[in-house]
Amino acid sequence: MEQVAVVTGAGSGIGRVVARELLDAGYRVVLAGRHEETLRETARSHGDAHVVPADVADPASVAALFAEVRRAFGRIDLLFNNAGINVPGTVADLSLEDWQRVVDTNLTGSFLCAAEAFRLMRDQDPRGGRIINNGSISAVSPRPASPAYTATKHAITGLTKSISLDGRPFDIACGQIDIGNAATALAAKFAEGVPQANGTIAAEPVFDPVHVAHAVRFMATLPLDTNVQFLTITATTMPFIGRG
């Protein structure tokens, strides 16, 4: 039976690389994101890609996304909850509007997608599936001036644990991948220099995001009686262990 995956934030960065890896592995992949043109670029040369523009921060848009998954495929085997944004600023400087934007996308968006996927996985035949949340290194250790991003990513860890527990009766596995300094377009600033916990600015090492895609594929292709609960993948010498 063919495997069906949904990847959010699939138009760029980690989402694009992971979506293409899953397509290469034989999955039918639903590419979700806000910009149809970038989703179509991800789908280029992959006939098993199914483009569905969606905003994970909008409950109606998420409901429409999974209604299309149900219509087109009748099931879902994998959700990669990846869409996310960051608005920098200290807790004293960040506006309530920017705080809410980050929470709506990173946390509420992940909840909405997980809830839709969970219901479909629970009710389909054969039942079950896997949800993988993108937690980020910030789910463990924050960067300076990142209260909204850090708070949402810490919360993703709790969401992952809760889904994992609630999914047990329905053969639904849930794990989390925490990524540090994958070399995407959004990570270009790391090579130029970013603020450190000691107040300095320093360049940081990065690594090829294809290794993230390989890690997600490994997590995804395990049997449902086996789960990688948390996986951390970083540039070997990035300031993470011992940060601060």
Active site residues: 149
What does residue 118 show for φ and ψ, rounded to 5 degrees? -60, -45
Q: What is the distance between the terminal CA atoms of the chain, rounded to a whole angstrom? A: 48
62-69's contacts with Cβ under 8 Å and 24+ in sequence apart are 62/109, 62/112, 62/113, 62/116, 63/116, 65/6, 65/30, 65/32, 65/113, 65/116, 66/6, 66/113, 66/116, 66/117, 66/120, 68/30, 69/4, 69/6, 69/30, 69/120
Phi, psi (5° rounding) for residue 224? -70, -10
Pairing between β-strand 172-180 and β-strand 129-134 as defined by DSSP bridges: parallel
